[in-house]
Amino acid sequence: MPAYATNMRLKFPILALTLEIITIILYAVFTVYSDGKSHDEGDKKHNETHPDTEPLKLYPMFQDVHVMIFIGFGFLMTFLKRYGFSSVGVNLLLAAFGLQWGLLMQGIWHLEDGKIKIGIEKMINADFSTATVLISFGAVLGKTSPVQLLIMTILEITIFCVNEHLAVEVLGASDVGASMTIHAFGAYFGLAVARVLYRPGLRNGHENDGSVYHSDMFAMIGTVFLWMFWPSFNSAIADPGLPQLTAVINTYLSLAACVLSAYAISSLVEHKGKLDMVHIQNATLAGGVAVGTCADMAIGPFGAMLIGFVAGIVSTLGFKYLSPILAANLGIQDTCGVHNLHGMPGILGGLAGIVAVALGRKEGDAAMQAAALASSLGFALVGGSITGLIMKLPFWGQPPDQNCFDDSIYWEVPAEEEENEESGAHADHSKNKAEV
Amino acid sequence: MPAYATNMRLKFPILALTLEIITIILYAVFTVYSDGKSHDEGDKKHNETHPDTEPLKLYPMFQDVHVMIFIGFGFLMTFLKRYGFSSVGVNLLLAAFGLQWGLLMQGIWHLEDGKIKIGIEKMINADFSTATVLISFGAVLGKTSPVQLLIMTILEITIFCVNEHLAVEVLGASDVGASMTIHAFGAYFGLAVARVLYRPGLRNGHENDGSVYHSDMFAMIGTVFLWMFWPSFNSAIADPGLPQLTAVINTYLSLAACVLSAYAISSLVEHKGKLDMVHIQNATLAGGVAVGTCADMAIGPFGAMLIGFVAGIVSTLGFKYLSPILAANLGIQDTCGVHNLHGMPGILGGLAGIVAVALGRKEGDAAMQAAALASSLGFALVGGSITGLIMKLPFWGQPPDQNCFDDSIYWEVPAEEEENEESGAHADHSKNKAEV
Amino acid sequence: MPAYATNMRLKFPILALTLEIITIILYAVFTVYSDGKSHDEGDKKHNETHPDTEPLKLYPMFQDVHVMIFIGFGFLMTFLKRYGFSSVGVNLLLAAFGLQWGLLMQGIWHLEDGKIKIGIEKMINADFSTATVLISFGAVLGKTSPVQLLIMTILEITIFCVNEHLAVEVLGASDVGASMTIHAFGAYFGLAVARVLYRPGLRNGHENDGSVYHSDMFAMIGTVFLWMFWPSFNSAIADPGLPQLTAVINTYLSLAACVLSAYAISSLVEHKGKLDMVHIQNATLAGGVAVGTCADMAIGPFGAMLIGFVAGIVSTLGFKYLSPILAANLGIQDTCGVHNLHGMPGILGGLAGIVAVALGRKEGDAAMQAAALASSLGFALVGGSITGLIMKLPFWGQPPDQNCFDDSIYWEVPAEEEENEESGAHADHSKNKAEV
C-alpha cells in the first residue's frame, strides 16, 4: 500500500536532522544573548521596570508557561487508550522544534543591529508560538504522522508570526492572553487541516478513538496543570505591576467560575446526570481561553467570572451537541474537540475584548480589535487549508485508517503484562534496557 | 430505593449554577482589584516591603500552594482503585468553588471602603481556605455525593473563616503554617461529618476500598508535590525576609526527617518488614503539618527536624493501630486516614507552638496559642457535626453502600479495554469524542 | 537462603532511625539559620546582589530543582513494569536523607564561627548532592535493597563533597551545571557499584526488566519535568544577572536541539523506523547534562545547540549499541542506562568546558578544567568500587536474582484488580485503609 508507507526510517530522521541543522545555522547567524540593556523585548515600557539587574524577573512565569506547553498540552491529549506515547512524545518533539522556530520567526520583526537578542520574554513568546501547533495537533490527533506534524509546525508557526505581527503591532489590537492570535487561530487552523485530511473511513468511529480509565487519569494531569498555570499564560507578557496583577486575578476567577458551569452543564446534558470526563478535562479550561484578550483590562472580578461562566457552558454544549454535527455534516473530525476548548472560547474572548475596549476598559480601538479577530480567523482558515493540502501529499507516512489512534505504528510498544505472564517466556519485544 | 436517588441530573446543576450566580453577584458588589496602595492584606508591615511596584512578589509561592491544592490533594486521593475521577475531579470542583467562597468569607473581616481588594495574598488565603474542605473530603471519600460535598464546602469554609478570625485576629495566636486552623480543624471537622454519616454496612470493608498498583502510583504524584511545595504553604504568608526564610528552612528539614521515621516505622510494624504505600503516601507529609504553627519561630533547624521525626512516627502508628480502632469502636470510617495525616500532627503542631512560644521562640502568649488550638478543635467538632446532620438529609443523592468507592455512580466511566477487544464491537459507552 | 535475608524488619528501621538521630544531633551542633548578612554562601560576589532583604530570591529556582530531584528522578525510573513503588518511593527516601547529609558535608568546608548557616543556596546545593546518588541508583535499580542504598547514599555524598571541593574550590574549575561533578561522577560511581554487584544470573535478562504501557507513561512525567526545569538546575548557582540568564538560555536551547537529534537517531536505528521510549525518556535529556559545564559561558546560542545536538546523538547510540556491549562483555548491568544519559554526556560536557575555557569563553584555566574532569572520574570509579564492595557484604538484604525488579519483595503490593473480581471476595492483602 504505497500511499501508506508509514515506515519512517529514512524520511523522519532526514527531515528532523535537516531542520535542526538549518536552525542551528540560522541561530549562529541571527541570535545573541540579551545584554539586558537595549530594547530587549521591543518595548520601552518594559525596560524601565526590567532593569539590567533583573533579567530573570519573569523566569518563574516562563516556567509556568513551559509546564503548560510540555506537561499541560502533552498530557491533556493522553486520554486516548493507545495513543499516550504519541500524545506526550510528539508533543515534546513539536514543541521543542517549534520554540526554536518560533523564536526566529518572531524575532525577525524586531532585529537590533541585525540580531535577535534572546531573553526571557522572547523565550515566553517562543513557547507561546508552539501553543498554536499543539492546539492544531489536538484536532488531527491520531490521524497524522510525525513527518506531517513537523511540516505543520514549520508552516503554522510561520503563519502565526505573520498574523500576530499584523494583529498586535500593525493593528495595535490588545490580546494579552492571546484568545484570538493563539487559541482561535490554532483551533481554526487545525480544523481546516482536519477538514482537508477528512477520512470517510472513520465516519463511524474507531475502536481506539476512546479512553480507558487510566488514560483519563493521565489526561487529568494535563488538565490540572493547564488550569493552575493559566494565570501565568495570560499575564506573562502583560505590562509589569498592576496590569499584570489584573491579568492574574481575572484569569484565576474566570477559571474558577468556569469549573462550576462546566460541571453543571456536563451533568445536565447526560441522561442520568453523570459527569463526563471529556467535558471535565476540557471545558473547565475554557474560562482561561475566553478571558485571554480581556485579561489585563479593568473588566472587574465579576466580569471575568461572567466570561468564564459563559465559556464553560458554551464549551460543554459544544462537546455534546456541536462536535457530532461538525463530524457528520461538515467532515471535520476534531479528535480532541479543540473547537470547543479553543475555537469558540477564543472567539468569545475576541468578542469580549471588542466590547471591553468599546466600553473603555482599556485604551484602544474596538474596530482594530475586531479586525484582529477577523485576521486571526482568516489566516487560520486559509493557512490551515493550504497546510492541509501539503500534508495530504501521499509520501509523508500518514497512517491508514485502521492504524489510526494507535501508537504502535510509529512507536515500539511494550508487550502487555498479561501476555508476558501467560507465555511464561521472555517476550521478544519487551524492552530490556541494558541487555538487549 | 428513594433514599438513594443518586441521579444528579437536576439537583446538582441547579445547586452548582445557583451557587455560582450568587457568588458572581456578591463579587460584583463586594470586590475590586487591589490598587497596591492601601492596606492590601490588612497588615502594615507587609506593605512596607510589598510596595506598589511588586504586587506579584508572592506569585511563585501562590503557584506552589495552588499546585498543592489541585494536584497535591487531588492526586493524593486517587489511591482508590475505582475512584480516581472523583478524587481529582471533585477535588477540582470543590476547590474551584471554595476559593471563590473563601475569598469572600475571609474578606468580609477586612473591608476597605466596603470593598474586598483582591491581591495575591488574598488569593493565597483563599486557596488555604479550600484546604480545610479537601482534608475533610478525605475522611468521607467514596461515601458522599457531589451535592453533599458542595454543601459541606459552603458550611465548612464559612465556619473556618470565623474560627480563623477568632484564633489569629482576636486571640492573636501564631499559626503561620496553619497546623491548628487548617489541618486540625479540617481533620476533626471531617471526622465529625464521617461519624454522623456512619455506615454500618461498611463495617467489614468494601471491595473497592483499596488500591491497585497504578492507582497507588497516581497517588504518589499527589504525595510528592505536596511534600516538595510544603515549605511554600508554611511560609507564604509569613513576614517577608528572614521569618519567611525560617519558615522555608524549618519545613524543608522537618519533612526530610519525617520521611526517615515514617519509612522506618512502616517497615517495623509489618510482619515481614515491608513498606506500606498507605504510610509512605501520607505519613511522610506529617512533618509538614506538625511544623506548621512553629514554622516561622526560632526553634532551630534541629528543633524542626525533631518535630518532623516525631510526626512521622505518630502518623504511621496511627494508620497501623489507631484507625482500625476508630472505625471498629467509634464508628469513624476515615477513608484516607486524615486523622493520622492532619489530625494528630495538627494537634502536635499546636502543642509545639504552645511550647515554642512559652520558651520565647517567638513573641506571643502561650495561653492564647492553647486557646486557638481549643477553639479550632471545638469549631471543628461542633461545626462538623451540624454539617454532617445537614448532609445526612436523604435527598442529596448519597450513594448506597454497595456503590461506595465507585466512580461509575456519578461519572461516565469508559469500558475496560479488555471488554472492547473481546466483544470486537464498538462498545456503546466508549467515548468517541468527535463522532458520538 | 541466608545470603538473601531480605526481611528488613529490623535492619532497615534500625539503620534509618539511627542515621536520622545522628543527623539531628549533628544539626543541633553545627547548624543555624542564615542571618542574611554574613558570607552566607561563601561567596562575596553573591552577597552584594543578594542583600538581606531578599533571602528568598533564589527560592523559585530551588523549587524547580526540588521538582527535578523528587518528581523528575523519581518518576523517570518508574518505567519498569513492577518497580514503580521502589522507583518513586526509594527515590524519596534516599533524597530526603541525602539532602540532610549533603548539607552537612558541603557545609563543613565553609563553617562560619563553627556553624553552617542554612539559606536557600545551601538548600539548592544539598538537593544537588542527592542527584549523584539518584543517578547511581539508576544503574543498580531493581537489584539492591533499601539498606544497601542508604549505605550508598552516605558514602557517595561524602565522596562527592570531597571531589566537588577539590574540583571547584581547590582547582578552581568552572562547572556551574555540574556535568563533571554530578553527572559524570554519579554515573561512573553507579557503574562501578554495578560492576562489583554483577549478577551472572541476569545475563539473559529478567522477565520484569522491562516496561508496560502505563509504566512508560509514568516515566514520561519524570522525563518532561526534568526537561523543563533543567535550565534552573544549570543556572541556580550561577552568578546573578546576565551569567545566570546565559545559563538559562544555553540550557533551554541545548535541550530543544537535543530532542530533535534524539528522536531522529531513535527512528534511524530501528528496523522499521519506530521511536523507542527508552531513547525518548532519556536521550532527550542529554543536552541538559552536556551543556552543564559551559552553561554560563559565552558559547553562543548556536554553541549550546550544537552541544545538545551531539549529546542527543551520542546518548541514543549509546542506548542502542554500547549498553548491550557493557552488559555482555564488561559485566556492567546498567538498568536505566545512566552511562548514556549521565556518563557520556557528562564527559562530553567536561570536554566542551575545556575547549570553551581554552577559547576564552569564560575566564579560567583549561588545564584545571581537565584536572576537574579527571578527578571526578577517578573519585567516582575508586569510590564506587569501594562502596560496591561494602554493599556486597551479604547481610544488607539484597534480593535474589529471581526477585529483582519486583516491588513485592520490599513493599506491600495490592492484589490485582482482576483477581479481586474473580474471587468475588475481599482479598486478604487488599488495602482497606481505615478498616483493617
CB contact under 8 A, B96 and A333: no
Q: Are the beta carbons of B260 and B311 closer than 8 angstroms?
A: no
Mutation for testing the C interface, residue in A17, A153, A433, A435 having most C CBs under 10 Å: A433
CB contact under 8 A, C35 and B270: no
Mean pLDDT of A181-195: 98
DSSP for A87-119? HHHHHHHHHHHHHHHHHHHHHGGG-BTTBEEE-
CB contact under 8 A, A12 and C323: no
pTM: 0.94
For residue B117, report the phi and psi dihedrals to the nearest 5 degrees. -95, 110
Sign of CA dihedral B299, B303, B305, B308: negative
Beta strands in B17-150 (DSSP E): 31-33, 116-118
Q: Are the beta carbons of C34 and C119 closer than 8 angstroms?
A: yes
Lowest mean pLDDT among B133-147, B188-202, B416-430, C183-197: B416-430
Question: Could you read off the pLDDT of B221-270 as tens digits, one per residue?
Answer: 999 999 999 999 999 999 999 999 999 999 999 999 999 999 999 999 98
What whole-number distance in Å separates Cα of residue B164 and Cα of residue C160? 47
CB contact under 8 A, C300 and A28: yes
Three-point CA angle B125, B130, B136, nearest 5°: 140
CB contact under 8 A, B55 and A206: no
Mean pLDDT of B272-295: 97
Q: Are the beta carbons of B173 and B372 closer than 8 angstroms?
A: yes
For residue A399, report the phi and psi dihedrals to the nearest 5 degrees. -80, 145
Write the burial class of residue B266 (CB in 10 Å: 0-12 exposed, 13-18 middle, 19+ buried).
buried
Q: Report residue B404 as a C-alpha cell.
A: 461506595
Half-sphere exposure of B314 (CA within 13 A, CB side): 23
pLDDT band at B434 (very low <50, low <70, confident <90, very high): very low
Write the burial class of residue A239 (CB in 10 Å: 0-12 exposed, 13-18 middle, 19+ buried).
middle
Lowest mean pLDDT among A341-355, B412-426, C118-132: B412-426
Say how many Å lie between the first and final Cα of chain C, rounded. Answer: 32
Helix (H) or strand (E) holding A31: strand A31-33
B416 contact partners, CB below 8 Å, separation of at least 6: A212, A213
List of chain C residues whose C-beta atoms are within 8 Å of the C-beta of residue A220: none
Q: Report residue A266 as a C-alpha cell.
A: 456536563
What whole-number distance in Å separates Cα of residue C80 and Cα of residue B405? 29
pLDDT of residue A416 exceeding 80: no
Question: What per-residue confidence (pLDDT) applies to B110?
Answer: 84
Question: What per-residue confidence (pLDDT) applies to C316?
Answer: 98
DSSP for B265-304? HHHHHSTT--B-HHHHHHGGGHHHHHTTTTTTS---HHHH
Chain A nearest CA to B391, separation (Å) = 20
What whole-number distance in Å separates Cα of residue C111 and Cα of residue C40? 10
Residue B53 three-state SS: coil
List of chain C residues whose C-beta atoms are within 8 Å of the C-beta of residue A36: 241-242, 245
Question: Could you read off the pLDDT of B72-113 as tens digits, one per residue?
Answer: 999 999 999 999 999 999 999 999 999 999 999 999 988 999
Question: What per-residue confidence (pLDDT) applies to B8?
Answer: 84
Question: What per-residue confidence (pLDDT) applies to C420?
Answer: 40
pLDDT of residue B423 exceeding 70: no
C66 contact partners, CB below 8 Å, separation of at least 6: B228, C127
What whole-number distance in Å separates Cα of residue A199 and Cα of residue A216? 25
Question: What per-residue confidence (pLDDT) applies to C271?
Answer: 80
Chain B nearest CA to C201, separation (Å) = 25
Question: What per-residue confidence (pLDDT) applies to C53?
Answer: 60
Summary mean pLDDT of chain B:
92
Residue C32 three-state SS: strand
Other residues' Cβ atoms within 10 Å of the Cβ of residue B24: 22
- Residues (pLDDT < 50) of chain C are 1-3, 38, 40-51, 418-436
For residue A118, report the phi and psi dihedrals to the nearest 5 degrees. -80, 125
What's the maximum distance between 2 C-alpha atoms anywhere in chain A? Answer: 72
Chains touching C (at least 3 CB pairs under 8 A) are A, B
CB contact under 8 A, C245 and A31: no
CB contact under 8 A, B221 and A224: no
What's the DSSP call for residue C339?
Answer: I
Nearest to A119 among C245, C284, C334 (CB): C245
Question: What per-residue confidence (pLDDT) applies to A4?
Answer: 63
Q: Report residue A12 as a C-alpha cell.
A: 523522519
Sign of CA dihedral B295, B298, B301, B307: negative
Mutation for testing the B interface, residue in A56, A66, A212 having most B CBs under 10 Å: A212
Question: What per-residue confidence (pLDDT) applies to A110?
Answer: 84
Q: Are the beta carbons of B228 and C70 closer than 8 angstroms?
A: yes
